[in-house]
Structure 1
């Protein structure tokens, strides 16, 4: 699969590196081109502009802070329409660990869907720190990490593939409205991490069912 990534931070490095190892073709676009280029070189991916990453991907990961979300989506020039878009972010005010919502109390994932008409948005990977996604695989006591995801049905096959190819187990949590709950759940994780808890021990969802093997063909 061709994967475009918007953002060049810790989550991009952890997730995209795992997808490169799984055989996917990854192109990273960032608002700071030099940072995106350096990251792509470290993990064996390509680098380009935000619009190039959006146009490139069969699926696109949005991995940016909420403060830069609108500018990032605008920079894609409408290229997200019709594509699975995976949102791994959380809208949280870390000064008091309150949830930040958008129009009518909507989530960050729903805001992406509003800013990118026609995109098929799913939220995933937002329940754990980047260091967990850097594990190969993310497993605890021999059991794969279960990754809750929610959003548009059209994007769920891509989300399942990208979760499974990291060695984790997909856990369907419902439609796009449930992304509000996933973001609220993540605030508990973020607060615990801020209190000094081990990122690898916080909200470690696991499953006794092995993660499905990656598909033979991409």
Structure 2
């Protein structure tokens, strides 16, 4: 698959490296071209990268997403994977409904919320697995786009979970803020949930 990445930070490097290793074509656009070139030999502007990609990972700071999406031009038909988190001090959401804001800023694009629940170091693991169980990655978005992103989740050794439409992304964003608050407080957020058989 032709994957574009907007941004050249940790998430871009971690997921871009995983997907390159799985045989995907990865192209990067970022404000810092030198950093982008460390992730991929294929580097372009926002618009060039968008035109050359079937799916685009939005791995930029949450407040700048809509500005970058606008600079990328027509994104109709593209899958936009939103891994951004808008969290401020005290693990409080500073931009509610981020994924839906992105969808409104990119008419005709198919936005999928994914990869936002774990720290970047988890996405560097090959594969992300804990106690012999692959990490589950919930996805919120239109069914056809979720199916495509599910294949990218499997390519890094994780298990995709179809968590519903984009309207449910706000719940995933709130879950992220809540669990980050627990982790920062020194608590194991995963211990809040019993296993499925129970």
Give TM-score, length-normalised by structure 1: 0.82
Deviation at 1:100, TM superposition (A): 2.6
Q: Tell me which residue corresponds to 2:94.
A: 100
Counterparts of 2:42 and 2:167, CA distance in 1: 33
Q: Tell me which residue corresponds to 2:117.
A: 127
Residues 16, 39 of structure 2: 8 Å contact kept: no
Residues 99, 111 of structure 2: 8 Å contact kept: yes
Query: What are the Cα deviations for residues 33-68 of structure 1, in whole angstroms up to 9, with x where unaligned?
Result: 22212332xxxx522111121111111111111121
Q: Which residues of structure 2 form unaligned runs of 5+?
A: none
Pick the aligned partner of 2:168 from 154, 165, 178.
178
Counterparts of 1:31 and 1:5, CA distance in 2: 12
Counterparts of 1:203 and 1:162, CA distance in 2: 24
Pick the aligned partner of 1:160 from 147, 150, 153.
150
Does the alignment pair 1:90 with 2:85? yes
Runs of 4+ in 1 over 3 A off after TM superposition: 192-197, 201-205
Pick the aligned partner of 2:73 from 64, 72, 77.
77
Deviation at 1:122, TM superposition (A): 0.5
Q: Tell me which residue corresponds to 2:57.
A: 61
Structure 1 residues 35 and 113: alpha-carbon distance in aligned structure 2, compared to 1, 3 A threshold: same
Q: Which residues of structure 1 form unaligned runs of 5+?
A: 209-218
Q: Tell me which residue corresponds to 1:9.
A: 9
Counterparts of 1:64 and 1:194, CA distance in 2: 23
Which structure 2 residues correspond to residues 133-144 of structure 1 after superposition, within 5 A? 133-144=123-134
Query: What are the Cα deviations for residues 133-184 of structure 1, in whole angstroms up to 9, with x where unaligned?
Result: 1000001111110101111223112110110000000011100110000001
How many residues align structurally?
194
Local SS of the residue matching 2:150: helix
Residues 82, 118 of structure 1: 8 Å contact kept: yes
Structure 1 residues 142 and 6: alpha-carbon distance in aligned structure 2, compared to 1, 3 A threshold: same
Local SS of the residue matching 1:151: coil
Q: Tell me which residue corresponds to 2:19.
A: 19
Deviation at 1:101, TM superposition (A): 3.6
